[in-house]
Amino acid sequence: MTALRSGSPARIGTSRRVSTETRRAGVGFLMALPPIVLLAVFVGFPVLLAIGFTFGFTGGLNSTIAAIGTGTRTATTWFGTVAAYGDVFSDPRFFRDLGVTLAVTAISTAVTLVVSVALALNLRLRGGRLASVFVGLAVVPMFIPVVIASWAILTFYASDGFLRTLLIHVGISAPIWGYTTTGVVIGSIWTSLPFATLMATSGIQAVPDAMIEAARDAGASTRAVIARVLIPMAGTPLVIAGTFTAIGVIGSFTVPYFIGPNAPSMLGVDISSYFQSYNRPQESVVMAVIVFLMASGIAVFYVWANFRTAKKEGRV
């Protein structure tokens, strides 16, 4: 009653606005709820189940895989056991393959970023039809399935492949990169280059011309324009490109399976071998958890880049 006597229309209007916002928030939550529930049921729950299996919880839905697998560790305490992790970390092959996985990831990501940035800078600063053709060729692998690209790379660099067959006619002995770690790096760069090129090109093309012209008017060389204007302003797309490239390579299976050697192999191939060939599903899931943790660590850079952009734009 007091509110109605002293300016009731304004307070009533405020109440109706809050109610509308609350209703909209509720509608938005209900619209977002189905995909969230879908992810929780078909992704989140299996992930939690698999993590529990690595800690020795072999009952319930894990009972079947625990029964058919060999060397399965069972929980002896209420919080489980880390014996399965001990089995993996005590195996010298794991650290050898982990080192190969990290090395291939680091080299492939670095080379992919360098090539994609070089193509984007060439298109931005020089332009022309030839620069557009280079960028177009870099994007072509996006339209080729990875399994076909892997097989093509293998046959191209194999001991009896196209490269050696061609060069042998002119007296040159080309190196054999089929079934080698070098071949895995080449294949990883080939399959990762399209996305990185698109991100780098869009980020550098988005830099306003006025910024470049202002830098040049101030006496900046082309190298200074690249280092102090183009790369910093395209930093967020480049970080995203590097993050997704690294996550894609670190968990890759098709490329190292087709092109890589039997040993050492990347963890993606190890996971499959331990699950199918060695019948040790618990250790394969332990490796999958380790790969997941490494990918999550890389994803921190993606979150940081997006948060930085949102903060600059005043959205947070």
pLDDT tens for the 316 residues of the chain, in order: 444 444 445 454 455 556 787 888 888 888 889 889 999 999 899 999 999 999 999 988 999 989 988 989 999 888 889 999 999 999 999 999 999 999 999 999 999 999 999 999 999 998 889 999 999 999 998 899 999 999 999 889 888 888 888 888 888 888 888 899 999 999 999 999 999 999 999 999 999 989 888 988 888 888 999 999 999 998 889 999 999 999 999 999 999 999 999 888 999 999 999 999 999 999 999 999 999 999 999 999 888 888 888 887 777 6
Domain stops at, among 51, 69, 87: 87
Q: Does one domain contain both 52 and 170?
A: no
Q: Does one domain contain both 35 and 132?
A: no
pLDDT of residue 1: 43
Asked if residue 8 belongs to a domain, the reply is no
- Look up the pTM and report it: 0.84
Give the burial string for 138-177 (b: 16+ CB within 10 Å, else e).
Answer: bbebeeeebeebbebbbebbbeebebbeeeeeeeeeeebb
Give the burial string for 2-14 (b: 16+ CB within 10 Å, else e).
Answer: eeeeeeeeeeeee
C-beta separation of 267 from 290 below 8 A: yes
* Residues of the domain holding 82: 22-87
Asked if residue 15 belongs to a domain, the reply is no
Q: Does one domain contain both 82 and 221?
A: no
Structure-token match 């550098």, residue found: 204
Distance CA 166, CA 157 (A): 11
- At residue 76, the 3 state secondary structure works out as coil
Angle at 160 between CA 266 and CA 149, to 5 degrees: 50
Q: Does one domain contain both 246 and 293?
A: yes
Q: Does one domain contain both 75 and 125?
A: no
Q: How many domains does the chain have?
A: 2
Q: Does one domain contain both 216 and 267?
A: yes
Asked if residue 120 belongs to a domain, the reply is yes
Q: Does one domain contain both 105 and 82?
A: no
Asked if residue 234 belongs to a domain, the reply is yes
Q: Does one domain contain both 40 and 124?
A: no
Taking CA atoms, 54 is separated from 81, 178, 283, 284, in Å, by: 8, 35, 7, 9
Half-sphere exposure of 271 (CA within 13 A, CB side): 19
pLDDT of residue 187: 93
Distance CA 62, CA 225 (A): 58
